[in-house]
Amino acid sequence: MNKITRVLLVEDDNKLRNTITDYLQMNGYHVTDCADGSSALYSFENDAAFDIILLDGMLPDIDGFDILRKIRETSNIPVIILSARESERDQLNGFHLGADNYITKPFLLSVLKEHINALLSRINQPNDDKTFLSKGALKLNTVERKVYLDEKLISTTPREYDLLLFFMENERIVLSRNTILDSVWGYSYEGDLRTVDTIIKQLRKKLDRHSDYIVSVYGIGYKFEVEHEK
Q: Rounded to the nearest 10 degrees, what angle do helices 109-123 and 14-26 cross at?
A: 60
Domains in the chain: ranges and CATH: 6-123 (3.40.50.2300), 132-229 (1.10.10.10)
Confidence band for 191, pLDDT divided at 50, 70 and 90: low
Cα–Cα distance list, 29 to 25, 38, 220 (Å): 5, 23, 39
- pTM (predicted TM-score): 0.59
On the question of pLDDT at 223 being above 50, the answer is yes
- Tens-digit pLDDT profile for residues 110-159: 989 988 888 887 766 554 445 788 899 999 988 778 899 998 899 888 88
Confidence band for 80, pLDDT divided at 50, 70 and 90: very high
